[in-house]
């Protein structure tokens, strides 16, 4: 039997590149589809690549015709809460129009299995609510809004065309490939853990804590961090779920544990045995006080077994990547 191909949009980005490694290890051929606007050529290591934009339907159709993928994994998106608050049209255009184009191209090619990276940012700020698959979604930023819109599209095209999807709502993805073949690197960097490691390594003067007056135990935002390797393992299970004909589902992917910004800083000091210079700054618009998964569905239904999602392990793997594996540019 010839090997099954999977079209991985955003496969040169942080999570997409880890997904490609997991797919390759599971016996699939990951075909990266990326416009390299934020992705890295050096992150494409586990299969072929088609350079293209999701808004370019002809290139997309060509990729489907050439590789005949059994499924799409759609990671390509803008994903910054702060930027989405300042420039919502960028998010509504890039994420939503690209998503529609991709769905239409997949259906036209007869590829009816779709794994989608969504986000806990679709829930908004729901104080005291346990966030799981049944929680209603009230996004408070354009990033979350654009992801929810694609979730809605997937439901509509399931009804009209039989498109089957596994939607994963990620909490905060962190860490790096334990073998440091790929890792987290953004330009500009905006995420807490890589910025903190930069500050620890002396590449930035300090880390700014965005808000210390939230209604949380220590006043800083609480997030649920999940290891990128565990997260992409769930994607392979989701893909197999679809290929087994089990149908559309939504799964939250988090560890179920909440850590404040201050707790992440403390753990980073412990892991690296170095100090982190801190500046107490203002809140970042669009941030919810607390986002923690209350879901066990991925574990119970999909058979997901997170292995590396404790904070020490995630920061340790991120630190190893930061020191030994970063991409050159
Ligand atoms: N954060 C911070 N300083 C930074 C970057 C992030 O205090 O320089 C906080 C941010 O307000 C949020 C948490 O760290 O509460 C995680 O932010 P990140 O951007 O990593 O992920 P997001 O929650 O936006 O997906």
| CATH class, 192-223+256-324 region | alpha beta
Residue nearest to atom 19 of ligand 1 (CA): 191
Mean pLDDT, range 170-195, rounded to an integer: 95
Chain mean pLDDT for the chain: 96
Residue nearest to atom 24 of ligand 1 (CA): 81
**Active-site option among 14, 123, 143, 170:** 143
Indicate whether 329 pLDDT > 80: no
Which residues line the pocket of ligand 1, CB cutoff 6 A?
81, 172, 190-192, 195, 207-210, 221, 223, 261, 284, 287
What are the sequence ranges of the domains in the chain?
Answer: 5-174+225-253, 192-223+256-324
Distance from the alpha carbon of residue 191 to the mean position of ligand 1, in angstroms = 6
Residue 327 to residue 329: CA distance in whole angstroms: 7
In terms of Cα–Cα distance, which of 56, 329, 322, 286 is closest to 194? 322
- C-alpha gyration radius of the chain: 19
Kindly report, residue by residue over 212-237, the tens digit of the pLDDT.
Answer: 999 999 999 999 999 999 999 999 99
Distance from the alpha carbon of residue 186 to the mean position of ligand 1, in angstroms = 14
Q: What is the pTM of this model?
A: 0.97
Kindly report, residue by residue over 295-314, the tens digit of the pLDDT.
Answer: 999 999 999 999 999 999 99
Distance from the alpha carbon of residue 210 to the mean position of ligand 1, in angstroms = 7
Mean pLDDT, range 96-113, rounded to an integer: 98
| SS3 assignment, position 34 | strand
Q: Give first-to-last CA distance, the chain, whole Å.
A: 40
Q: What's the confidence (pLDDT) of residue 327?
A: 85
- The CATH homologous superfamily for domain 5-174+225-253 is NAD(P)-binding Rossmann-like Domain (3.40.50.720)
Q: What's the confidence (pLDDT) of residue 222?
A: 96
Kindly report, residue by residue over 259-280, the tens digit of the pLDDT.
Answer: 999 999 999 999 999 999 999 9
DSSP annotation of 251: E
H/E/C letters for each residue in 99-145?
HHHHHHHHHHCCCCEEEEEEEHHHCCCCCCCCECCCCCCCCCCHHHH
């Amino acid at each position: 039997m010839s090997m099954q191909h999977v079209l991985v949009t955003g496969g040169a980005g942080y999570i997409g590149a880890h997904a490609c490694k997991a797919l390759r290890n599971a016996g699939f051929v990951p075909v990266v589809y990326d416009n390299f606007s934020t992705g890295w050529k050096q992150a494409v290591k586990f299969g072929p690549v088609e350079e293209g934009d999701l808004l370019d339907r002809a290139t997309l159709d060509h990729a489907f015709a050439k590789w005949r993928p059994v499924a799409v994994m759609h990671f390509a998106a803008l994903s910054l809460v702060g930027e989405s608050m300042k420039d919502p049209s960028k998010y509504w255009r890039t994420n939503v129009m690209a998503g529609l184009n991709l769905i239409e191209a997949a259906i036209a090619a007869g590829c009816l299995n779709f794994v989608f990276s969504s986000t806990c940012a679709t829930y908004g700020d729901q104080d005291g609510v346990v966030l799981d698959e049944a929680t209603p979604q009230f996004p408070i930023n354009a990033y979350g809004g654009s992801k929810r819109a694609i979730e809605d599209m997937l439901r509509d095209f399931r009804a009209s065309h039989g498109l089957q999807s596994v939607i994963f709502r990620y909490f905060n993805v962190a860490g790096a490939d334990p073998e440091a073949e790929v890792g987290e690197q953004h330009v500009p960097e905006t995420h807490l853990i890589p910025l903190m490691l930069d500050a620890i390594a002396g590449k930035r003067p300090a880390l700014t804590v965005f808000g210390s007056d939230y209604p949380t135990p220590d006043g800083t935002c609480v997030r649920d961090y999940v290891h990128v390797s565990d997260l992409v393992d769930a994607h392979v299970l989701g893909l197999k779920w679809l290929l087994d004909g089990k149908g559309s589902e939504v799964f939250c992917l988090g560890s179920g544990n909440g850590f404040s910004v201050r707790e992440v800083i403390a753990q980073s000091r412990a892991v690296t045995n170095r100090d982190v210079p801190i500046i107490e700054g203002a809140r970042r618009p669009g941030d919810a006080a607390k986002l923690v998964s209350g879901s066990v569905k991925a574990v119970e239904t999909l058979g997901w077994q997170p292995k590396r999602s404790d904070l020490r392990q995630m920061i340790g793997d991120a630190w190893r990547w930061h020191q030994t594996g970063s991409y050159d540019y």
